[in-house]
Amino acid sequence: MSIVVNIRHKKETKIGYNFLRTRANFENLYVGIQDEAYCLDDYQGDEDIRGIYFVLFSREKFHRGFGFKVDEDYNIELVLNYPCSKRDVMIFYKFINDYCLNFDIPTFTEEGEEFTLKNIPELQNEKIEFNKMLIRDDLKSGLTIFGCIYPITLDDDFILGIRYLDPDGALNAFANYLDKLQRPIYYFAKPALYYSADPNKYIAKYSLTKDVPSIFPINAHLPFGYDEKFKDNIVSWQVVVAELLEPNGFKIHAEMSYDEFCQVINLSKYPKFDKTHVLITIDDKALSKIAQHNIQTAQETMINWLSDYRELGCKPAQIEFTKEFVTEDGIHCYIFKYKKTLLSNWWLGIVSESGTFSEFKEYNQATEIADAIEIINLLKTFWKKEAERIDKEKENG
Cβ–Cβ under 8 Å, residues 101 and 114: no
Residue 5 bridge partners (DSSP): 78, 110
DSSP state string for 197-248: SSTT-EEEEEEEETT--EEEESS--PPTTS-GGGGGGEEEEEEEEEEEETTT
DSSP, res 185: -
Length of the chain: 397
Cα–Cα distance, 72 to 12 (Å, whole number): 10
Residue 149 buriedness (CB in 10 A; 0-12 / 13-18 / 19+):
buried
CA separation for the pair 106, 121 (Å, rounded)? 15
Q: What's the burial of 74, exposed, middle or buried (CB within 10 Å: 0-12/13-18/19+)?
A: middle
User: Considering the entire predicted model, what is its pTM?
Assistant: 0.83
Identify the burial level of 327 via C-beta atoms within 10 angstroms of its C-beta, where 0-12 means exposed, 13-18 middle and 19 or more buried: middle
Rounded CA separation 263/213 (Å): 19
Task: Return d(Cα 277, Cα 196) in angstroms, integer.
Answer: 27
pLDDT at 397: 63
Distance CA 151, CA 273 (A): 11
Q: Is 248 exposed, middle or buried (0-12, 13-18, 19+ CB in 10 A)?
A: exposed
Q: Max alpha carbon distance in the chain (Å)?
A: 96
Quick check: 95 and 27 in contact, CB under 8 A? yes
Task: In the chain, count H helices and then E strands.
Answer: 8, 22
Q: Are residues 85 and 178 in contact, defined by beta-carbon separation less than 8 angstroms?
A: yes
The pLDDT value recorded for residue 391 is: 74
Distance CA 230, CA 209 (A): 25
Among 154, 135, 157, 156, which Cα is nearest to 145's?
154
Determine the pLDDT at residue 130: 92
Question: For residue 361, which amino acid is it?
Answer: K
Ordered DSSP codes for 261-273? HHHHHTGGGSPEE
- State the 10-residue block means of pLDDT for the chain, 397 residues long: 90 88 93 92 92 94 95 93 95 95 92 94 94 90 93 92 90 95 93 85 92 94 80 89 83 88 92 95 92 93 94 93 89 94 94 92 94 92 82 72
pLDDT of residue 244: 86
Amino acid code (one letter) for 235 = V
Domain ranges of the chain: 2-132, 187-282, 313-394
3-state SS track over 5-32: EEECCCCCCCCEHHHHHHHHHHCCEEEE
d(CA 1, CA 139): 12
Write down the pLDDT at residue 223.
84
Q: Are 54 and 31 in contact (CB under 8 A)?
A: yes
**Residue 150: partners with Cβ closer than 8 Å, 6 or more residues away:** 38, 39, 40, 181, 182, 186, 188, 215
Q: Which of 102, 81, 82, 87 is nearest to 57 (CA)?
A: 87
What's the pLDDT score for residue 78? 96
